[in-house]
């Protein structure tokens, strides 16, 4: 499911990690990814609000994932030492709030390597 798109997306993430390494804040990697996705002509939207509903009534609370890539893939960027279950839960919440089925959790904060996880629901 969206395998080539995921491969292209992760290629962009690896390029950002190879150029910048670890040690920056999440916002820096967010902007670097935006530039790299543009350079690779990967379609994306950044920081789009997801409206939430209960019994057809809109909630005040909204989710804001880092990216929608290809109109189908939710991407959440982190800059932490290690991905934790709550990071994965955050992405799963984003997927559950949409009709999207594929998400990528990408962590630039690991000093040894780019850490990432593909989640399909």
Q: Per-residue pLDDT tens, the chain, 121 aa: give them.
A: 678 899 999 999 999 999 999 999 999 999 999 999 999 999 999 999 998 999 999 999 999 999 999 999 999 999 999 999 999 999 999 999 998 999 999 999 998 899 999 999 9
Do residues 78 and 112 make contact, with C-beta atoms less than 8 angstroms apart? no
Tokens of 84: 């934790």
Q: Which is it for the CA torsion 103, 22, 113, 20, positive or negative? A: positive
Residues 6 or more apart in contact with residue 68 via CB below 8 angstroms = 44, 45, 48, 74, 75, 100
pLDDT for position 1: 67
CA distances to 33, 46, 52, 91, 120 from 96, rounded to whole Å, are 24, 19, 10, 9, 11
Helix/strand/coil for 7? helix
CA distances to 45, 96, 99, 104, 121 from 12, rounded to whole Å, are 15, 25, 24, 12, 23
pLDDT for position 48: 92
Domain 3-120 falls under CATH 3.90.320.10: yes
Query: What residues does each domain of the chain span?
Result: 3-120
């Amino acid at each position: 499911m969206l395998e080539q798109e995921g491969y292209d997306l992760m290629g962009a993430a690896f390029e950002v990690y190879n150029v910048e390494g670890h040690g920056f804040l999440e916002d820096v990697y967010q902007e670097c990814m935006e530039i790299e996705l543009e350079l690779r002509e990967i379609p994306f939207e950044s920081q789009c609000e997801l409206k939430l509903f209960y019994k057809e009534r809109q909630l005040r609370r909204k989710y804001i994932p880092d990216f929608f890539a290809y109109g189908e893939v939710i991407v959440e960027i982190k800059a932490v030492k290690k991905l934790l279950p709550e990071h994965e839960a955050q992405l799963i919440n984003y997927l559950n709030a949409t009709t999207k089925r594929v998400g990528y959790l990408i962590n630039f904060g690991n000093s040894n390597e780019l850490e990432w996880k593909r989640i399909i629901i």
